[in-house]
Structure 1
Amino acid sequence: MNTALRRAMAEKDVRSGQLARRLGVSRETVERWITDADRVPHARTRADVSEYLGVPEEMLWPKAVKTAVKTGPDREIVSVYPYRSACPKAVWAELVERAKEQILFAGYTNYFIFLEQPHFHLTLQRKLEQGVRVRFLLGDPESPTTRAREAIEDTPLSVSTRIRIALDNLGRVPAREGLEVRYSAPEDATNHVGLSVFRFDHDALVCPHLARLVGHDSPMMHLRKRDEQGMFDRFAEHAEELWDRAVPA
């Protein structure tokens, strides 16, 4: 089953017949793409589906595009988004679903994921039951850095409120054994608030925050590890360093 394609179609409320008419193929062909992950359309058709659904081709048919990689350090860059909010929800859902070893949300508030992904606390429970290490690195809602950032953003939904929304949702995970939640150390808070790293095994979504913009208005990159000490490793090491010095929430 091509769950990524099925999820992307569901998010856009696109049915098999509708996609088939858009592409000029039969509905049965589209349904075979969904039910058989090894059945892959031609490159031009893949590009059309990706554009129509708003999901990177690499997420829908990773094996088909694996050989069409770049040759330099930038080959670890899967996609770029001018705004975090421009990244389809299906991408986040698929990265979480594929994770077999670890999930790390190292945004300063991380609250948005609970709003955008239905019943995400139950998804986290399922990943924990599968043996996946699940970690959340948050900013301390009472820290001076949080207060300073609130003054900069000057939004009704304050930074500390967004952190508490995340904490409240994490508290709803039915069996929280294995769920790790920490606040970044005071000396790291400035570095943490300026850069969010969300890791899913060997994929990462990296979001540098710009000036007065809130997280969903900042740009984001989707990275996939291909080399040692490449782009992925650099950002992963940054997040791990913050985690190692962080304190229990």
Structure 2
Amino acid sequence: MPNERLRAVMAAGGWTYEALAAKTEVDPKSVERWVNLNRVPRRTTALRAAEILGEDVHALWPAIRQPRKARGVSPDLEALYPQRADLPVSVFIDLFQQARQQIDILVYAAVFLHEAYPRLNALLTERAAEGCAVRIAIGDADSPGVRRRGQEERYGHGIDSRCRLALMHYRALIHTPVVELRTHGTTLYNSLYRADDQMLVNTHVWGVNAYGAPVWQLRRSVEGGMFDTYATSFEAVWDTARAVEE
């Protein structure tokens, strides 16, 4: 029996087997089997395909069960990664590509994004051109907070130099409509990467570089949950940050 729901969604969006296969990084024959034989992909692949198609994964593949969560775990929590290094940069880029209304970035530097994906500025400009508001807050290289973080992470002057590098990367965006760039000197407990109602939270651990610290993957599902806690934190830092001038 074919998967008529998946067939209809793909037809409505103009998706070919080859196009969806390329996006989900599988063989086109696999996508053909999803449609014609109602085969169920692996959970991670199904989630990615559903997100690309803009559909609920359980509507496309009812056989895929919701993961069982431990008692007391926030419904906003989708995944937990032991280290940021466990996430390919494509996870961050895909997050921003999906944004339609809002992108928020709160970091000290996070130059790994530009280093691994040189088109980051172009991507943010494209999203802004579609009406997506972009706010970027990076560390003030001269602030006591940044210098202290360098000492705690044993970076020395490395972190403030990376803040200057991040500013150099992002400065090209200051004349882009609906893109705002600010610097902050706060004690940063988490780096935040938000796209609409999704967020990656890179926790900061004393004495550990950010790439070695855990990452929460959140999706807003309840009011006042984990997602809103971190979103409120971003707003508090943003209010204290200073706009970057030419």
Could you say whether these structures have the same fold, taking a TM-score greater than 0.5 normalized by the shorter chain as the test? yes
- Residue 42 (structure 2) aligned to one of 39, 46, 66: 46
Residue 80 of structure 2 aligns with an amino acid whose one-letter code is: V
Report the TM-score when normalising by structure 2. Answer: 0.76
Matches within 5 A, 1:1-249: 1=15, 6-7=22-23, 9=25, 16=27, 27-30=28-31, 41-42=39-40, 45-47=41-43, 50=44, 58-62=47-51, 63-65=56-58, 68=66, 74-155=74-155, 158-173=158-173, 176-184=176-184, 186=185, 189-190=186-187, 192=188, 194-249=189-244
Q: CA deviation at 1:144?
A: 1.2
Q: CA deviation at 1:110?
A: 2.8
Task: Answer whether contact 1:205 1:221 (CA < 8 A) is retained.
Answer: yes
The CA deviation string for residues 168-207 of structure 1, in whole angstroms up to 9 with x for no partner, is 11123495232211122x4xx11x2x21111110001011
Cα distance in structure 2, aligned partners of 1:161 and 1:8: 37
Q: Where does the alignment leave 5 or more consecutive residues of structure 2 unmatched?
A: 1-14, 60-64
Cα distance in structure 1, aligned partners of 2:201 and 2:20: 21
Q: CA deviation at 1:69?
A: 6.1
Deviates more, 1:109-118 or 1:203-212: 109-118
Cα distance in structure 2, aligned partners of 1:243 and 1:40: 47
Larger radius of gyration: 2
The sequence identity of aligned pairs, in percent, is 25
Report the TM-score when normalising by structure 1. Answer: 0.75
The CA deviation string for residues 49-93 of structure 1, in whole angstroms up to 9 with x for no partner, is x3xxxx7x5334342147726686522111111011211222212
Q: CA deviation at 1:117?
A: 2.0
Judged with a 3 Å threshold, the aligned counterparts in structure 2 of structure 1 residues 148 and 156 are, in CA distance, closer, same or farther, namely: closer
Cα distance in structure 1, aligned partners of 2:20 and 2:87: 14
Judged with a 3 Å threshold, the aligned counterparts in structure 2 of structure 1 residues 109 and 174 are, in CA distance, closer, same or farther, namely: closer
Aligned pairs, number = 216
Judged with a 3 Å threshold, the aligned counterparts in structure 2 of structure 1 residues 149 and 8 are, in CA distance, closer, same or farther, namely: farther
Cα distance in structure 1, aligned partners of 2:143 and 2:126: 32
Q: Which residue of structure 1 lines up, in the alignment, with residue 7 of structure 2?
A: none
* RMSD (Å), alpha carbons: 2.9
SS at match of 1:90: helix
SS at match of 2:48: helix
Residue 110 of structure 2 aligns with an amino acid whose one-letter code is: N
Task: Answer whether contact 2:191 2:202 (CA < 8 A) is retained.
Answer: yes
Cα distance in structure 2, aligned partners of 1:102 and 1:46: 30
Judged with a 3 Å threshold, the aligned counterparts in structure 2 of structure 1 residues 7 and 236 are, in CA distance, closer, same or farther, namely: same
The CA deviation string for residues 88-119 of structure 1, in whole angstroms up to 9 with x for no partner, is 22221221111000101111213221122231
SS at match of 2:85: helix
Judged with a 3 Å threshold, the aligned counterparts in structure 2 of structure 1 residues 86 and 60 are, in CA distance, closer, same or farther, namely: farther
Cα distance in structure 2, aligned partners of 1:4 and 1:164: 39
SS at match of 1:198: strand
Cα distance in structure 2, aligned partners of 1:4 and 1:220: 28
Cα distance in structure 2, aligned partners of 1:174 and 1:30: 42
